[in-house]
Amino acid sequence: MFDYLDYVREKNFPHIWCSGCGDGIALKSFIRSLKKLGIAKDDAVMVSGIGCSSRTPGYVDINTLHTTHGRAIAFATGVKLAKPKLHVIVVTGDGDATAIGGNHYIHGARRNIDLTVLLYNNYIYGMTGGQVSPTTPLGKNASTAPFGNLEPSFNIAGLAQAAGASFVALGDVYHVQQLDKLIAAALSKKGFSVVEILSPCPTAYGRRNKQANPVDMMNWLKDNVIAKEKLDKMTEDERMGKVASGVLWDVEKPEFTAEYDKLIERLKAEKQAKE
């Protein structure tokens, strides 16, 4: 029987997430993936910024860093360069990663540095007052958009792919068996890997958009997050409003820390040749 207590800091429970929040489900999915791959706790580091998602490291019994708003990928880049053999995982949110942290998100993907980014997307700034985030859907309400959001939302997965990531996937906290596989695949991939995780926020998003019942939000995920292979077979009308899940992008390309090590070795050899 799998024991989650082997991977959590019991002293930090009960957690601070709201009732109906999906972040705890995402946490358990990550723990199962870590266990499945046999990654030792001392061989993994989890880095986060600020936000609901970024509370995750406080509950996981591995090496952790809880850093500043929007800077998780920057801190994680430093960890990976200093200790390239470690599995470095970034847990971030739609606001933390793609608003204040947008440049780090883009350039981490461009470098293709070996980080696994678990990006919880709840369509809003959940912790700081329910403001519009870069992924708040057009027309939906937020504390800073009481009459509906006028801004088109980011395509988080598409942005990572366009910027240069080697692995991009999308999952959600209803289809947890699929999510386990996607996180495990991202952890196994050499390069910048992103798993966008759709997670309900009944408190800050749902109650402003007539979805205050967590069950309704989970049912929305059940009905509207569709495996890409199945979605591709649907008609245009059937695809309307649906979200494609699964592995969306997976390529092999040079990884930054490996290329950096090659540079160091080349310079050492050149120096020795001159002596």
Using the predicted structure, report yes or no on whether residue 232 has a pLDDT greater than 70. yes
User: Tell me, what DSSP letter sits at residue 149?
Assistant: -
Tell me the C-alpha to C-alpha distance, in Å, between residue 233 and each of 88, 230, 237, 238, 251.
36, 5, 12, 10, 23
Distance CA 18, CA 250 (A): 34
- For the segment 97-113, the average pLDDT, to the nearest whole number, is 96
User: Tell me, what DSSP letter sits at residue 142?
Assistant: B
pLDDT class for 77, splitting at 50, 70, 90?
very high
| DSSP string computed for 176-212 | HHHHHHHHHHHHHSSS-EEEEEE---TTTTGGGTT--
- One-letter amino acid of 6: D
CA atoms within 13 A on the CB side of 242: 21
Using the predicted structure, report yes or no on whether residue 270 has a pLDDT greater than 80. yes
Residue that wins the pLDDT comparison between 275 and 146: 146
Predicted confidence (pLDDT) per residue in 168-221, tens digit: 999 999 999 999 999 999 999 999 999 999 999 999 999 999 998 999 999 999
What pLDDT is recorded for position 275?
A: 82
pLDDT class for 5, splitting at 50, 70, 90?
confident
Instruction: Check: CB of residue 109 under 8 Å from CB of residue 115.
Output: no
Q: Which two tokens stand for residue 224?
A: 């509207």
What pLDDT is recorded for position 204?
A: 95
pTM over 0.85? The answer is yes
Q: Which two tokens stand for residue 118?
A: 């678990």
What pLDDT is recorded for position 1?
A: 63
- Which residues, in sequence order, are bridge partners of residue 250? 167
First to last CA, the chain: 60
Distance CA 260, CA 81 (A): 9
Query: What residue spans define the domains of the chain?
Result: 4-274
Instruction: Check: CB of residue 165 under 8 Å from CB of residue 157.
Output: no
Mean predicted lDDT score pLDDT of the chain: 95
Predicted confidence (pLDDT) per residue in 118-162, tens digit: 999 999 999 889 999 999 999 999 999 999 999 999 999 999 999
- One-letter amino acid of 51: G
Which one of 3.40.50.970, 3.30.420.40, 3.40.50.720, 3.40.50.300 gives the CATH number of domain 4-274?
Answer: 3.40.50.970
